[in-house]
Copies of this chain bind each other. A is one copy, B any other.
Amino acid sequence: MQRVAKSEETRSLIVTTAMRLFTENGYDRTTMRAIAAEAGVSVGNAYYYFSSKEQLIQGFYDEMATQHLTAARALLTGRPGFADRLKAVLLCWLDIAEPYHRFGTQFFVNAADPESPLSPFSDDSSAAREASIGLMREVVDGSDVKLDPELRDQLPELLWLFQMGVVLFWVHDRSAGTKRSRLLVERSVPLLARLAALSRLRVFRPVSREIVDLIHDLAKRD
């Protein structure tokens, strides 16, 4: 029992130290030796708890996701408009991610590797992914938006994909305070909402259906 507590303590000591050094000096310039030294353990010990340097950020990633989930949910109550809800959720992510933009960049580069367990599409990330898609489902279901029912089913996943796009943009965003990413959200969200509403229009209907079908077919793994 006490052994377990001690172990958990060491683990969290290492990850905390790592995160501090990452934010202070950036991912690349922080060495495993420095992390171990600062935490007062040996290099080998860090590797006993975390299989790689990359792995060290997974814990951080999870924490950020949880933070976003709760903060975003709080923003959703008493907000009926679809565009309003979506915008709130996305801007909330930008707020939470802001302090980590410097080394977050390095992080998401690693995540871009399809082979990496850090990839948002990987099996290892499926729990976090499902949670995020669930949040998007709340955005849709709690709103007063009228939708083609076919689209309604797929929309949460589409919105999650859109969020990944925003993240990609954010990673490349070099503007002060990442304000261009905010601009992207502010202006693209109303557009998305209008497009979603158009999905019920007769002319647009077949196109909308085909989009849904395509996504559906592509989602099937084989």
User: A121 CA to B172 CA in the complex, in Å?
Assistant: 9
Residues from chain B with a CB closer than 8 A to the CB of A145 are none
Closest to A184 in B: B218
Closest to A206 in B: B194
Q: Is the CB of A207 within 8 A of B188?
A: no
Please tell me if A105 contacts chain B, counting CB pairs below 8 Å. yes
Query: Which size bracket describes the interface of A in this complex?
Result: 20 to 34
Residues from chain B with a CB closer than 8 A to the CB of A201 are 203
Closest to A191 in B: B210
Pick from B109, B121, B175, B210: contact of A112, CB below 8 A.
B109
Copies of this protein in the complex: 2
Residues from chain B with a CB closer than 8 A to the CB of A113 are 105-106, 109
Q: Is the CB of A187 within 8 A of B171?
A: no
Q: Is the CB of A191 within 8 A of B172?
A: no
User: A114 CA to B194 CA in the complex, in Å?
Assistant: 32
Please tell me if A217 contacts chain B, counting CB pairs below 8 Å. yes
Q: Is the CB of A105 within 8 A of B109?
A: no
- Which chain A residues have a beta carbon within 8 Å of chain B's beta carbons? 105-106, 108-109, 112-115, 119, 121, 171-172, 174-175, 180, 183-184, 187-188, 190-191, 194-195, 198, 201, 203-204, 207, 210-211, 214, 217-218, 222
Pick the 7 closest A-B CB pairs, nearest first.
Answer: A112-B112, A114-B172, A109-B113, A187-B214, A109-B112, A194-B207, A191-B210
